[in-house]
Structure 1
Amino acid sequence: MLHIGCHLSVSQGFLHMGGEALSIGADTFQFFSRNPRGSGVRKLDVDDIQALNQLMADHHFAPILAHAPYTLNGCSKTAKTRDFARQAMADDLRRLEYVDNCRYNFHPGSHVGQGAETGIALIADLLNTCMFPGQKTTVLLETMAGKGTEVGRTFEELAAIIDKVAMNEKLGVCLDTCHGFDGGYDIVHHLDDVLTAFDKVIGLERLKAVHINDSKNELASHKDRHEKIGDGHIGLEAFQAIVNHPALRNLPFYLETPNDLDGYAREIALLRSLQQ
C-alpha cells in the first residue's frame, strides 16, 4: 500500500489534522512546525498531541512530517538570522518529543555569497547545537533545486553536512521530486541512475521520505515551482515509476502541490491507482 499524505494546516490542532488526513484517504501528513514565513508557534497542547498519537496508532499511520519554517536559515551571513535558526530548531525538536512517529524536515539554507563550503560548515554547526542525546525525532535534510545560493543542490553537499554532524545516526534525507528535477537530476528518464548516485554518495538507508510534486519548469531549471501531479514536466509516467520503484515504494510520500483538500484527495487516489 502506498503511504501518502499532503500538507495540512496545524491551526485547528493536531487531532484535527489527523481527521482531515483520514477524510481524504491519507495515512500520513505534513505540517509546519511554526509560522512558515515568520517565527510564531502554536501553544503546546499535550492532550491534543496525545489524541493524535492514539488516532495514528489506531489507523496505522506512516510517519508524519514536521516542516521547519522557510525563515530558518542556519547558514546565513547574518548572525541574527543564524540565532533564530538555532532557537527555532532547538525549540521545535524539544516540542516534537511529544509527537509519536514524527520526523523533522528542513531546507538546509542559503549561504548568501559565503560559498557552499562555509554554508555546509554552518549548517552542520546548527545541527550539532540543536540535536540532543536521546532525541526520538529523526531530522531530514531536503534536496533543493539550486536556486540562488541554496545549499543542498547536490547529493554531495548533503553528504558533506551529514559527515560533519556528531549525531548523524538521527539524520536522513527527504527527496523532493520537483527540487531534484529542477536541480538537474533526471528522474524522468534516468530514475535508476539517480537513485544509484544517491546510494553511492549518501546511502539509500538515509532516504526517509519523498516530497512528491510535479514541476512547472524543465529539467535543470533551478526554479523550484511545484505543479499538480501529471500537469508538469515530470509527468504521470515518471510518477508511476517513482511510486513503484523498490527503493521508494515503501517510503512515506507527501504532496506539496498547488491544491485544496479535495484536490489532494484526487491526487492521493490517482497515485494509489498507479502503484502495482
Structure 2
Amino acid sequence: MNVGAHVSIAGGVDNAIENQVEVGGNCGQIFTHSPQVWQDPNVGDEEAAAFRDGSATEDLGPWVIHSSYLVNLCTPKNDLRKKSIDSMQKEVDAAAKLDIPYVNVHLGAHTGAGVDAGLDNAASALDELEIPEGVTVLVESDAGSGTKLGGDFEHLAAVLDRSAQDLDVCLDTAHAFAAGYDLSSAEAVEETVAEFDDVVGLEHLECIHLNDSKHDCGTNKDEHAHVGEGRIGEEGMETIVNHPDLDDVPLVLETPHEDGKGFAWNVERVRELRE
C-alpha cells in the first residue's frame, strides 16, 4: 500500500526523505519552493543525488511535486500565462532531476473568460511545455469555487482531450466532495468512482490526495480534516482505501496539524482502515 504525506523540504530537498520516514509514509509529495511566490526550484546537484539515493535506500515512492499556487493555466492574461508556463517548465525539469515521476497542478481560474476558453487556455499552456521523458503532469481536481476550473470531472476530461501532452489526473477527495461528488458512504463512493471512470477514465488516475473535509458535500469550501473525522467520514474513507479499482493508486495526505494529530496519525489511520 502506497501512502504518505506532503512533507517539508526545509534545509534541502533531500530532507524530505527523513521527514517522510518519520511520519511512516512510503510515498509522498513536496513543494520545490514556497508555493506562495514565484521562485525557481533551484535544486543543487548534491541534494538531488541525496534525494534520489535516499528514496532508493528507504524504498520511497512514487513522489509528486506540487506546483506553485500562483500558477494559473486557465488565465486569459498573457503575463500570468507566461509566468505559469515558465514555472511549470522549471517544475517538470526539477522532477526529472530528482527522478520524480509526477508534477501536480491545479487548472486555475478563467477569471471571466468562460469555461470553454479557460479549458482551451489550460490545454494550450500545457502544450507549450517540454516535458522530460519519465515525467507526467497530473491535473488536480478542484473544489470549484468562483471561476476556478477542475471541479467538474468534465473539466479534467476536456483538458486531457484537448492537450497534445500525455496527461493524467490527481483526484483530491476533499476537493471532489466540496465540488459535489459524494464520498460519505460506500454507495456514494461506488457511484463517484463509476462516474470518474465514465467521464475521465480510471486509467488516467495516477494519484489520490486523501483528505477528509470539514465542510459538507457541494459547498465548494476547501478545508481539509483528519482522515475519517470530517464530513466524508470513516465509512467513506474506508471504502476509498479498500476500493479494488483504486488499489494501486498512491495515497498522499494533505491533512491538518491540529488536535494533537499530524501526518503520522493520519498515515497510521489509513493503514488501520485498510482491510
Q: Do the two structures share a fold, i.e. TM-score over 0.5? A: yes
Instruction: Tell whether the 8 Å contact from 1:182 to 1:218 is kept in structure 2 after alignment.
Output: yes
Structure 2 equivalent of residue 165 of structure 1: 163
Q: In the TM superposition, what is the alpha-carbon distance from 1:249 to its structure 2 partner? A: 2.5
Question: SS in structure 1 opposite 2:262?
Answer: helix
Structure 2 equivalent of residue 118 of structure 1: 117
For 2:149, give the aligned amino acid: V
After superposition, where does 1:88-107 map in structure 2 within 5 Å? 88-107=87-106
Instruction: Count matched residues.
Output: 272
Q: 2 CA distance for matches of 1:199 and 1:262? A: 33
For 1:215, give the aligned amino acid: S
Q: 1 CA distance for matches of 2:33 and 2:89? A: 13
Structure 2 equivalent of residue 13 of structure 1: 12
CA RMSD of aligned residues (A): 1.6
Q: In the alignment, which of 209, 216, 227 is matched to residue 207 of structure 2?
A: 209
Q: 2 CA distance for matches of 1:163 and 1:156? A: 10
Question: SS in structure 2 opposite 1:257?
Answer: coil
Structure 2 equivalent of residue 255 of structure 1: 253
Q: Any runs of at least 4 consecutive aligned residues in structure 1 with deviations exceeding 6 A, and if so which? A: none
Structure 2 equivalent of residue 177 of structure 1: 173
Question: SS in structure 1 opposite 2:14?
Answer: helix
Q: Is 1:187 equivalent to 2:183 in the alignment? A: yes
Q: Is 1:234 equivalent to 2:232 in the alignment? A: yes
Q: In the TM superposition, what is the alpha-carbon distance from 1:262 to its structure 2 partner? A: 6.2
Q: In the TM superposition, what is the alpha-carbon distance from 1:241 to its structure 2 partner? A: 0.8
Which of 118-127 and 70-79 deviates more?
A: 70-79
Q: 1 CA distance for matches of 2:250 and 2:11? A: 23
Q: 1 CA distance for matches of 2:228 and 2:192? A: 20
State the identity %. 33
Instruction: Tell whether the 8 Å contact from 1:72 to 1:85 is kept in structure 2 after alignment.
Output: yes
For 2:263, give the aligned amino acid: Y
For 2:48, give the aligned amino acid: I
Segments of structure 2 that go 5 or more residues without pairing to the other structure are: none
1:161-185 per-residue CA deviation (whole Å, 9 max, x = no partner) reads 11111122xx110010000000011
Q: 2 CA distance for matches of 1:158 and 1:198? A: 10
For 1:232, give the aligned amino acid: G
Q: Is 1:156 equivalent to 2:177 in the alignment? A: no
Instruction: Tell whether the 8 Å contact from 1:3 to 1:28 is kept in structure 2 after alignment.
Output: yes
1:126-164 per-residue CA deviation (whole Å, 9 max, x = no partner) reads 1100134x5321110001111011111111111111111
After superposition, where does 1:80-95 map in structure 2 within 5 Å? 80-95=79-94
Q: 2 CA distance for matches of 1:94 and 1:65? A: 13
Structure 2 equivalent of residue 39 of structure 1: 38
After superposition, where does 1:265-276 map in structure 2 within 5 Å? 265-276=264-275
After superposition, where does 1:1-80 map in structure 2 within 5 Å? 2-80=1-79
Q: 2 CA distance for matches of 1:26 and 1:113? A: 41
Q: In the alignment, which of 143, 146, 156 is matched to residue 145 of structure 1?
A: 143
Q: 2 CA distance for matches of 1:39 and 1:127? A: 18
Q: In the TM superposition, what is the alpha-carbon distance from 1:42 to its structure 2 partner? A: 4.1
Q: 1 CA distance for matches of 2:57 and 2:43? A: 23
1:22-80 per-residue CA deviation (whole Å, 9 max, x = no partner) reads 12211112111332111123422122112221221222222111000110002223221
Q: 2 CA distance for matches of 1:222 and 1:203? A: 23
| TM-score, scaled to structure 1 | 0.94
Instruction: Tell whether the 8 Å contact from 2:139 to 2:170 is kept in structure 1 after alignment.
Output: yes
Q: 1 CA distance for matches of 2:125 and 2:70? A: 14
Instruction: Tell whether the 8 Å contact from 1:35 to 1:41 is kept in structure 2 after alignment.
Output: no
Q: In the TM superposition, what is the alpha-carbon distance from 1:224 to its structure 2 partner? A: 1.2
Instruction: Tell whether the 8 Å contact from 2:182 to 2:189 is kept in structure 1 after alignment.
Output: yes
Question: SS in structure 2 opposite 1:11?
Answer: coil
